[in-house]
Structure 1
Amino acid sequence: MTANILFAAKPDRWTIYEAPLRRALDAAGVTYDLRTGFAPEEVDYIVYAPNSDVQDFTPYTRLKAVLNLWAGVENITGNQTLTVPLARMVDHGLTQGMVEWVTGHALRHHLGMDADILGQDGTWRKHIPPLASERGVTVLGLGELGRACAETLASLGFDVTGWARSPKDIPGIRCLHGDSALADAMARAEILVLLLPDTPATENTLNARTLAQLPRGACIINPGRGPLIDDDALLAALDAGQVGHATLDVFRTEPLPADHPYWAHPNVTVTPHIASETRPETASQVIAENVRRGEAGEPFLHLVNRDLGY
């Protein structure tokens, strides 16, 4: 039986994804028809970007699953017309990209590289960083991306603490959970990595109170979600020296407005949402596997808990 797969994303994405998706679906042994247009009642699966024109799922009466192209699902979980399974993107290419970006910036701050890169004025300044085992790193969020980053940092010798809202058990990582343990996790964070999902429960996780719980001069790395940070509170903590540096890849408004204070702050590094991108080749393999599973009557991978929002 042929699976009708609707590709619902911006037109430029079709150009990028069509060939990798066809290769992956062929390799998975799926019999399919893949297009950017079907009559809604003919669609079995939607390969989906939340910024696409498809926002009302009511006409898709035959729909079996929506397969998200993005790791983030906060812009779709509240859609009351979506009643079929929703799978988020968990892609090993995306994960590896995130691990590399987080590790690079964690090492940058740990080793004090900015002093060497930016301070070359003819003065011989010798600074010896501590060993990684003497540096506390906390990762807030222990999902697929947070766990991978925490494990990699621990493999380099860092003293890694992970925090999540629910209990986790990761060998080699000190795992804390729940609101009552957040202060302990913050207190251990000479380098803090934010990889929580964007939900009502996580908005402004970094605020005046929690920022004050960090060791003075701590560095913050946020490749997770912009709303995790109260921007005014972070700017105040940076000005006061409570936070030594913030490397930020995600923001409440993107692109970050040209007049935003982050651009001009000497202790802020802005990167343009590049920490981790979905890779068409590897993402297509994830999507094809879920279509195969749906056609075979097997459980879908990476389903979203609509109550939790991720």
Structure 2
Amino acid sequence: MPRIAFLACADTLPAGGERRGDAFEHDREVAALRPAFGAAGLELVEIDWRAPLPAFDGIALALIGTTWDYQDDAPAFLAKLEALEAAGTRVCNPPALVRWNADKRYLQHLARAGAPTIPTLWRDDVTAADIADARIALGCDDVVIKRQVGAGALGQYRFAPGEAAAPGWRMGRPAMLQPFLASIVEEGEYSFVFIDRAVSHALVKRPRSGDYRVQSLYGGAEDCWTPPAADLARAEAVVAAIPFNDLLYCRIDMVRLPSGELAVIEAEAVEPYLYPDQGPQLGERVARAIIRRLAA
């Protein structure tokens, strides 16, 4: 029986110390995958991505799951994926794709390929003066600043109209500045889950009252959603623009622009939560995709 590693981190694995507030999502995803894998003749093994290479002996394929601390040690994370690949373990998604997707400058590639994106300013660092300049350049009073290498809205800042950064404030890392889009509060953020480039399911994520972040870590909630054809087509256009052939999974997060069209916030191909509660066939779809790769 081929053994499939589900890569996680100490904060999401059930065993060990205190877990993250959203670690229940790890449990839900594993609970969706394990029985489907077993029915397909695969064994799912949860492993911390920081475990030494001998811990991966006998693993046929490593599936990047809830490695939700990678952004704080990205070089080591990428090196481990490449070491696994060099040792003969197939990694999904592949290290080259992960390296490309881990830095949000990939959004520049998607924009050049014609995918709908949000106006963005890219900076090696951000100061209070940059925020003022961004308001002029982006034509908005409400600005969001995100890490170029980051996940889960961690280390993210929002400067609402009339709000200024403290004197001497700086981001301290490469960042991206975008206009805050009110639609994320008014109607939510939309996610499309793709397996082998085919849509599996879609959902809408809404922030709790008084917040704009949609992740469960901040009190966000999600519901099933059937996208209109035009919205699905825009998500499919984003997937089509990803310049790698081997794309086992991807989650496309989108928000509605003032024009009424959806624009991509992120094309998550590293370690996205795939929302199995909204996609009851997720386990079977992922198992089939893995079997195809093992047979190739």
Q: What's the TM-score bracket when you normalise by the shorter of the two chains? A: 0.3 to 0.5
Structure with more strand by fraction: 2
Return the TM-score normalized by structure 1.
Answer: 0.36
